[in-house]
Amino acid sequence: MTRKGQTGRALILALLLAFGRGPVEARVIHASPAPDAHGDGSPARPVDLASAVRLAQRMVTLDAGAGATVQLAPGDYHLAPRDTIEYSCGNCERPDTTVNLTYGLRVSGRGIRIRGAPDHGSVLHTNAGYGVWFQDCQACALEGVVVTGGERDTSGIATDGAVVVQRSSVRIEDNWIRENIGDSTTVARHVVGIAGIVGREGSRIRILRNEITRCSWDGIALYRGAEAEIVDNRIDGVDLALGRRIGGGRGVGIGCTWDSRAAIRGNLVRRYWKGIGLFVDAEGVIEDNVVNEIATWGLSLWDAGRGACRGRFRWNVVDSTGACGASIASTTKGGDPGWFNQNALLRTGQNPRYDSGEPYCFQTAIAVHEQPEHFQIEGNLVFQNRTPGDAPSSGDLSEDTFRIAAQTIVQRLALHSATRASGFFRRYSRTPGGERLYDEPSELPDLSRDPRLPPDLPEPDFGRESPPWSWGQTPGARRR
């Protein structure tokens, strides 16, 4: 055994003896970015981040009943990327496809919590395709850190993301995930860039109150076998880069595909190629979101001509799109296919380039290409939408009527800090004279947490109770 290995074993033994089987709150390992961080994990003698995670994993392995917290000191953590091979592919037709990838930090075990310094003072420069990779990590968490500096993998099928969750239950809360662009040549070659957060097979994720800015692919992407609650996040592509131009906003703000499922509430998506979509066999509840400054469509339900996607879209705002405001293209049969009710769509269809309806959708506020039987489209508000040839848009309301009718949505948006920051909320939540038209959130019930979800990680059980995307249907077999 090398001297380094002997030192590591000795350090683990010393920490286990020190912590023993004490309470969870006592099991804190302190990490530092300092080059001389080779201590015992105490506040006075921290260790480097990789060693801290290994210590936490060893602790929870030897004592399955308790978790461990890795507390990060302020500073910049430059992770050393590692190469590996993954024997499953998250977004391939054949899920058993082999993928070559790099990762910055891999976290496994149970009850491992990585917590940043106050005021987002801990910055992780991942230098890898899979930045922070939770793999086989149950009841784990990432809190209050900055994740940046990802590098696009050379394999075009790698599901690169600043944070990747696979076969794990993880809470991702109050993080700043930003500037994950990658090498321009590699991104241009594959088109696919680096997402903010990626949910893979067997993942159960709570994505709460994060800021995801300037990533070169989807803000949040859920692939086959992933389930998530996505609440109160700000997702901003910043650059709105299109085609082979390299920058942020290339992709979908929030995308759920294959058989993924999600509750998506109270998020702000800005400056992206596409807004929020359910694809193929995905199921979701999409409520109280604001989608703004989108190059093509704002909301989408698309079965790809072979799936059975189901979605409940309600109380969302689509404000300023190049193509249609919403696209419905699904022939889902059986059960409850969902609805598209009580949404607000304004200033859609602004780019004449898409007036032909190709390649995205009919150039109208709500483009219905194919509609499932019993799929409701009712009570939506439309205002200042553009149609081909700049003809008046059918059904558009006057500004005064729209402002009054939009107050139900305004009250919903007031519940979430992300949507309160939108231009739509600022514009329509007050009278022209500046009088507030909404009730402060403290005066309203807290709807940011679905009551059917467990109260919190670290002990989730998504299988025991009805998930937030369920409305009485038992999902059948899914197409791949």
Give the domain CATH number at 196. 2.160.20
**Number of structural domains in the chain:** 1
**Coil, strand or helix at 396:** coil
Residue 464 clears pLDDT 60, i.e. is over it: no
What's the CA gap between 446 and 231, in Å, rounded?
A: 12
Residue 480 clears pLDDT 70, i.e. is over it: no
Least confident of 37-41, 59-63, 244-248, 327-331: 59-63
pLDDT band at 409 (very low <50, low <70, confident <90, very high): very high
Say what the pLDDT of residue 61 is.
83
In a domain, 88, yes or no: yes
pLDDT band at 2 (very low <50, low <70, confident <90, very high): low
Residue 184 clears pLDDT 80, i.e. is over it: yes
pLDDT tens profile 14-67 = 555 444 444 434 489 999 999 999 998 999 999 999 999 999 999 888 775 678
What's the CA gap between 89 and 97, in Å, rounded?
A: 5
In a domain, 462, yes or no: no
pLDDT tens profile 254-297 = 999 999 999 999 999 999 999 999 999 999 999 999 999 999 99
CB 199 within 8 A of CB 221: yes
pLDDT tens profile 96-126 = 888 899 999 999 999 999 999 999 999 999 9
User: Do strands 99-110 and 82-86 pair parallel, antiparallel, or not at all (unpaired)?
Assistant: antiparallel
In a domain, 416, yes or no: yes
Q: What is the DSSP string of 244-271?
A: T--SS--SEEEEE-TT-EEEEES-EEEE
Write out the two tokens for 205: 């994720």
In a domain, 54, yes or no: no
In a domain, 104, yes or no: yes
- HSE at residue 22, side-chain half, CA atoms within 13 A, is 11
Question: What residues have CB less than 8 Å from 315, skipping those under 6 apart?
Answer: 287, 288, 342, 343, 408, 409, 412
What's the CA gap between 393 and 384, in Å, rounded?
A: 8
In a domain, 258, yes or no: yes
In a domain, 84, yes or no: yes
Residue 131 clears pLDDT 90, i.e. is over it: yes
**Domain span including residue 110:** 64-443
Say what the pLDDT of residue 15 is.
53
In a domain, 293, yes or no: yes
Query: Of 55, 470, 76, which Cα lies nearest the Cα of 261?
Result: 470
**Coil, strand or helix at 353:** helix
Write out the two tokens for 29: 């390992």
What's the CA gap between 7 and 9, in Å, rounded?
A: 6
